[in-house]
Structure 1
């Protein structure tokens, strides 16, 4: 049975009475990414002891499985990139249905009609360029622009076989331009890194000039020369991070408060990229991802559910690029986190 929603103030009171603690597993590849939501939540609800662990979703989902298998669930809320996990967890009876205010304004193709899971954040990976090195009107925007001779040794990308969102992005570009495009990209001698935060940081530092496997604010930070630019014709990756409350959550009242805050207009208006709610306007001049013809959040959801397709592609890209090299970008131990 779906738990009815309540006002944020009433939920805050319930969460404090419960003990004022909250544990969240969040998909991401840098601890600093938690600031997008954790800072705003803690400022709004200072009496809640919020503990967020940011890690690659492909590690978090295994932790959640393991906790359920051993009957020792220690997390309240999850929001991850591994979209295929949520229907599975619902079928297992591991998710608590909850329709927070604003639920009806979330993309219908991506939310569970019973309220077991729902989009909470929207992200896009596209051209991130240091305009101090490349003027914006000369910046690479289409995939073929990255093959220009003047960009050799000046590019950085996330390993596609280490991140399913980037993998889908590469698959779609290659469907448009063929595998010779990838051969040309490899001849540019790009730097390959783990995580999608790393390319942004490398470009922002001036060490490389551009990437298309990272994200940045739709409205640039003051004083920054970095710009997030969409292609005019080629595919760019966008997707909605799904969230859910675990049925065995140790702190269910705090979990309902957290989800309600994430889906509130108050929070959705301050996200750095797109709001998940379709009734909240995006940054001026930007449409919601579902309104662009050259991206496919729904297609990505289907891709994530086809694990055979995903694993085959990972093997192919490893043959082209080589094995993934480097420690996990978050620094979180892959095993033993909850022991």
Structure 2
């Protein structure tokens, strides 16, 4: 997802001139580590001290990170290999809402959430601004640092190439398509956003429009489960991964008239048992290495534009992502809330 703003980091080179005094100046002692500070500089001074503090804590606890979702399996392994910090994984398939509701022990240190859930629960998080903070779009980060976007995706149509290539959601009502959403739209965010993508008209969501389209498919007996479908409506990173695993049997398109996008955001728990490890995780995830690892999972790094300008983006992998038709339509929180309310009232009775 194209990041609309970025800030170039200035490199400050300090050199000593010939003939300078050889008298050494005592180094200024570093302040004590504050593992719950707002930034790397404020709490640790540098990455070495952050890494040391995280190693002293001994582990990091995460929740809701399936290994096959945006390459989280590879990211978790790379984090442990790089820093030697053990990762405890809780409920990999937990939804955003479930992550915050889960009465589990040990408590999670960090969260990966949809934007609406993060905004609604901002008071549960410990503010922290990663080193790449200025590269993130203003509209997908909380000004206080409570939450901030890590990666984005477009809603897409994945399809078996033996059926005609659909170019819009309206095409799916034509004969020959058996269609699946990625879950129940009353419970699964990906399925809900699939309905909302189908509801777009000139960039504005009309929930009734999306429900009616899937209602027509349901009444025709052509709305089914993914294993039986020749079309799956899901995020493009999910469909792109499916296509990479089955290059002769799957294609992906992002409809030109429905470029719905969404970000997943990161947050640190206010009661994180391992606050330094939590901050090290975020620094890693938002580093050039972490962002490229997310892109390897076909997600769109939130820092992509700034990384591209600095020559740090993996452009070979970027070329493998589905081509978007243009800037994404991002639902506002009121639009998301209105859509969920409408589906709660109408989905079950309209779609059978």
Q: Is 1:3 aligned with 2:26?
A: no
The match for 1:216 is 239
TM-score, with length taken from structure 1: 0.73
- After TM superposition, the structure 1 = structure 2 runs for residues 1-339 of structure 1, keeping only pairs within 5 Å, are 2-5=38-41, 7-18=46-57, 20-26=58-64, 32-33=68-69, 34-35=72-73, 37-54=75-92, 55-63=94-102, 74-81=107-114, 83-90=115-122, 92=123, 94-131=124-161, 133-134=162-163, 138-151=164-177, 154-158=178-182, 159-176=184-201, 178=209, 180-193=212-225, 199=226, 202=227, 207-214=228-235, 215-217=238-240, 220-221=243-244, 224-225=247-248, 226-231=250-255, 233-271=256-294, 272-277=298-303, 278-281=305-308, 283-284=318-319, 292-293=326-327, 295-297=328-330, 299-304=331-336, 306=337, 309-322=339-352
Aligned residues: CA RMSD: 3.1
Q: CA deviation at 1:261?
A: 0.7
> Within 1, Cα distance between the matches of 2:332 and 2:221?
28
Say if 2:60 and 2:85, in contact at 8 Å, map to a contact too.
Answer: no
Say if 2:214 and 2:351, in contact at 8 Å, map to a contact too.
Answer: no
> Within 2, Cα distance between the matches of 1:26 and 1:7?
29
Q: Secondary structure at the match of 1:162?
A: coil
Say if 1:79 and 1:244, in contact at 8 Å, map to a contact too.
Answer: yes
Say if 2:97 and 2:117, in contact at 8 Å, map to a contact too.
Answer: no
Say if 1:164 and 1:310, in contact at 8 Å, map to a contact too.
Answer: no
Change (3 A) 1:97 1:174: closer
Change (3 A) 1:148 1:85: closer
> Within 1, Cα distance between the matches of 2:185 and 2:128?
34
Which consecutive unaligned segments of at least 5 residues does structure 2 have? 1-36, 309-314
Q: CA deviation at 1:269?
A: 1.6
Per-residue CA distance 1:159-213 (angstroms, 9 max, x = gap): 32222453244234235394653343224423445xxxxx3xx3xxxx4321123
Q: CA deviation at 1:61?
A: 2.4
Q: CA deviation at 1:222?
A: 6.3
